[in-house]
Amino acid sequence: VVSAVGWLPVLLAWLCAVASATQVQLRAEPTELQTGQTGTVRLLVVSTDRDAAGVASRRPPSLPTGEGLLANFLGQSQQFQNVNGRVTVIVQFEYRVAAVEPGTWEVGPVDLALADGSRAVAEALRIRVSERDDTAPMAEYRVSASFDRERVWEGQTVVFGTRFESRKPGAQVRWQLPSFDGLRNPQHGLPSDERFTVDDPQGAITVRRMFVPLVAVATGERDQGVAVAEVSLPEGGADLFGFRRSRIEQEVSDRLQLHVEPLPPPPPSFSGLVGEFDVTSRFEVKGKVAVGQSVPWSIVVSGDGVTEGLEMPQFEAEGASIYDNGSDVSARMDGERFRSTAAFRRVVVPTREGTLELPPFEISWFSPKAKKYVTKKITLPKLTVVPGREGDGSVVSFGGDAPAEASDPVAIDLRPVYPSGRATAPSLRPVLLPLLGLAAAPGGLVLVGIGLGQVAARRRETREARRGPPTAADALRRLPTDAQGRLAAFDLALRRLEQPLLAVEDPTARDALLARHDELRATLGRVRFGDASVGPDRVAALEADLRKLVADVRGAK
């Protein structure tokens, strides 16, 4: 039903970014139906752990729905995807969901027992069912384009969406997007392009939706112009060349306006984020840790605004060293919503035993919903640090009579200097390309020669195939200079003339021409094999007779 699963790579990248082993998600296409229509709901189990990807039960998971919806299991599929060298298993359960009664109905949640014994819950989603309107039949197609909101704050993410739907099979749309004045594309999060079909009693409806995430970077009233849809509707059969005929129509959206409010003066702890965000902090180890043990610590900031450029404050704590272990920023279009995540990984290494208390930290962002800056204080758990495993304290040196460096406590592990060697290095960069060209040229020339030869041979074959079998006229076109050679060519021409002669339709003319042909052949035989000497006049006379016969045969045909 759905044409493509183009959102899968985006979902996988997202899952990799949030570094979760198994994710379960419900997706509906579409999220709005009319009574009597049928859409699709998918339950996706995406996992990097092959054992966890399967579900415990052999029966498909039941999909709870509100009273106004009717769900039927359609099928199950499984696929493997390689994302950055990591194999991800995707198990997909597909359900057809029919709209029965108007209202907003929940689908899910689905509590799933996975094959490895763990459980995962797919959050519920909502499908809005409206009353069927048969009084106004649907036009051939419908297009619409708009921003998801008209008033935004500086730095806030706004989503531009287009929608095209048609009952006509094969209908296509091409959008010319507005100028997006004062807006920019986020560094992460590509526009989404969804195509799906809704089953309707009056015929299937093909829907194509596109969502473009943008960030407001300039304030004030921003006139975005219009979006233009070029709709191609198939009409009639194929044309002379086999192409399907179609009618092109253009639709123009209303003028698109956007008002961008400047942000109020920020507090010192402002992170630069604008949107609604959630911040989580997690230590991979709970309870007791040993001195020197690495404790992975992750801070994840996710929300509907862009997180690119976000930085975490530097942490310093007594009794521990804290190291940066990289970060990931990712974003995606989740249906009509933009979702972004920044995950920061750190490693905490306790340096002394006792209780390790990491200081809390704060992160502030501007919340468009609250119309003010909000600050979240993250309190970190206390860790009990126990003594690490001790060594016997002896130092074994394998360096032999090492130079003075070994006595330097700072540089104890630094590898020594090279006492000799070249101080300068010639760069091959300027000569690489000429030398490569020089080495490659003979082979290249041979290859070009082979290629040209093949082209010439192919052209010759084509020419000969076009010309057909050799004719008598061909034999007379280039005659040798010596008399015997000319006579042999005449003989060849006479033999080639036999076939066209027999093809002459008029019997009287054919008989006359055959008689002349036989006489000429007999004369030629006498001249070639009977007479002692062959004079040039004789040969010239024969040639003249032969040429006349060839011309007459051509005329008779």
Partner 1 sequence: VTALGLWLLAPIAAAGPVADGAAAFDEGRLDEAIAAWEAPADQGWALSGVAHYDIGIAWYRKGDMPRAVARFRGAARLRPRDPYVHHNLALARAGLVSAPEPVGGDAWRRVVTPGELGLLGILLAGLGSLGMVLRRTRAASAAVWATGIGVGGIAVAGAWEAALHPVAVVVDAEAVLRDAASVEGGERFRLPPGAEVRVERSLDEFLLVEDARERRGWVARNAVELAWGGLIGR
**Binding footprint of partner 1 on the chain (CB under 8 A):** 187, 309, 311, 314, 324, 326-327, 329, 403-404, 408, 410-411, 413-429, 431-433, 435-436, 439-444, 446-447, 450
Q: Which residues have C-beta within 8 Å of that of residue 332, sequence separation ≥ 6?
A: 7, 10, 11, 13, 14, 189, 190, 192, 338, 339, 340
Q: In what order do the strands lie in the sheet with 354-356?
A: 288-290, 383-386, 354-356
- Between 435 and 522, CB nearer to partner 1: 435
Q: Is the dihedral of CA 533, 536, 540, 546 positive or negative?
A: positive
| 253, 145 Cβ separation under 8 angstroms | yes
Pick 169 or 266: Cβ nearer partner 1: 266
DSSP notation for 133-201:
--SS---SEEEEEEES-SEEETT-EEEEEEEEEESSTT-EEEEE----TTEE--SS---EEEEEEEB-T
Pick 391 or 421: Cβ nearer partner 1: 421
DSSP 406: G
Q: How far is the CB of 542 from partner 1 (least distance, A)?
A: 48
Residue with smaller CB distance to partner 1, 449 or 555: 449
Q: Which residues, at least 6 apart from 447, have a Cβ–Cβ distance to it below 8 Å?
A: none
Tell me 35's DSSP state: T
Give yes or no for a contact between 152 and 263, defined as CB atoms under 8 angstroms apart. no
Minimum distance, C-beta of residue 365 to partner 1, in the bound complex (Å): 17
Minimum separation from the CB atom of position 352 to partner 1 (A)? 20
**Closer Cβ to partner 1, 312 or 512, answer by number:** 312
Least distance (Å) between residue 216 CB and partner 1: 18
Which tokens belong to 146?
Answer: 């708009």
Q: Tell me the CA distances in angstroms from 56 to 32, 51, 80, 93, one per residue in order.
A: 32, 10, 19, 14
Residues pairing with 341 in the sheet? 302, 330
Instruction: Show Cβ contacts of residue 130 under 8 Å, excluding neighbours closer than 6 positions.
Output: 32, 33, 34, 35, 102
57 or 454: whose CB is closer to partner 1?
A: 454
Nearest distance from residue 449's CB to partner 1, in Å? 10
* CA–CA separation, 345 and 322 (whole Å): 11
> What is the closest distance, in whole angstroms, from the C-beta atom of residue 419 to partner 1 in the complex?
4
> Taking the complex as a whole, how short is the minimal distance between the CB of residue 425 and partner 1, in angstroms?
4
Name residues whose C-beta falls within 8 Å of residue 217's C-beta, 6 or more positions apart in sequence.
154, 155, 182, 183, 184
Q: Indicate the residue type of 77.
A: S
Residue placing its CB nearer to partner 1 in the complex, 355 or 420? 420
Cβ closest to partner 1, residue 198 vs residue 274: 274
Q: How far is the CB of 190 from partner 1 (least distance, A)?
A: 15
To partner 1, the closest distance from the beta carbon of 313 in angstroms equals 11
Is the CB of 172 or the CB of 219 nearer to partner 1? 219
